[in-house]
Structure 1
Amino acid sequence: MPREIIATDAAPAAIGPYSQAVKSGSTVYLSGQIPLDPATMTLVEGDFGAQVRRVLDNLAAVAAAAGGSLADVAKLNIYLTDMERFGEANAIMEEVFDEPWPARAAIGVAALPKGAAVEMDGFLEL
């Protein structure tokens, strides 16, 4: 099955050798997004909540470029440098996603690119 590379200027450009997303059939694989402002490619200002919201905005932009939305997310992975922030991430997810919730994993990590506190990746079913 041919793969389609998904790219948009509404989300940060890749900072390595990867695509923002790859579509294969009806599945879109979203690469990890950190809280970069797509216009400046710098981390967003503000607290942890601002970082989570920027990550979700970035994922939404890539999903839209693929013809979907966050409502189409089937699986979401969240990487946190501080698992004590897990509750805050959950609260924001409840603001952004509607039931039925996507499948999800939350993984504690030692560090993320550019000093980010959160990163998310996942996939959509269109």
Structure 2
Amino acid sequence: MKEVIYSERSPKPIGPYSQAILAGQILFISGQIPIDPSTNEIVKGGIEEQTIRVMENLGGVLSSAGMTYDNVTMSFVYLKNMGDFPKFNEVYSRYFKDRPPSRVTVQVSELPRGALIEIAAIAYRF
């Protein structure tokens, strides 16, 4: 059985998808871009500000499922510019201090709404 997870602390989906799906003990979080849920706009600033917003959006979804960043087992990171990797990585590391999840990071040519970053994740309720 699958359960749709929704958080007011994260932006509403901009297409026909759920913020996350809980299937048993596994949470599949859709890609989050740096939309501020209070304004429905991309946050101003560079990769650091956008990474913070994306991570906070992920945190909102995790919280709605009764989880934290510690539950994340895998993340999928899409960067518009791989040159932003060091700055992104510094911000990202603040959220995963101990036992960070496995991760894929790739550069893409375009992201929704002109975002510089998108992150999807899988978490496990243990």
C-alpha distance in 1 between matches for 2:66 and 2:41: 26
Task: Give the aligned partner of residue 50 of structure 2.
Answer: 51
Q: Is 1:20 aligned to residue 16 of structure 2?
A: no
Q: Distance in 2 between matches of 1:80 and 1:47?
A: 12
Deviation of 1:10 after TM superposition, in Å, equals 0.9
Aligned residue in 1 for 2:88? 89
Q: Provide structure 2 residue ranges, at least 5 long, that are not aligned to the other structure.
A: none
- What code does the residue aligned with 1:68 have? M
RMSD (CA atoms)? 0.7
Instruction: Quote the Cα distance in structure 1 between the aligned partners of 2:74 and 2:108.
Output: 19
- Give the CA deviation at 1:71: 1.3
* 8 Å Cα contact 1:36-1:54 kept in structure 2: yes
Q: Give TM-score, length-normalised by structure 2.
A: 0.97
Contiguous gaps of at least 5 residues in structure 1: none
Give the superposition deviation at 1:101: 1.1
Deviations 1:89-116 (A, max 9, x none): 1111221112211000001100000000
Matched length: 125
Percent identity, please. Answer: 35
The answer to whether the 8 Å contact 1:10/1:61 transfers is: yes
2:68 matched to which residue of 1? 69
Deviating above 4 A after TM superposition, structure 1's stretches of 4 or more consecutive aligned residues are none
Partner of 1:34: 33
TM-score, normalised to structure 1's length? 0.97
Letter in 2 for 1:32: G
Structure 2 partner of 1:114: 113
Quote how far apart the aligned CAs of 1:47 are. Answer: 2.0
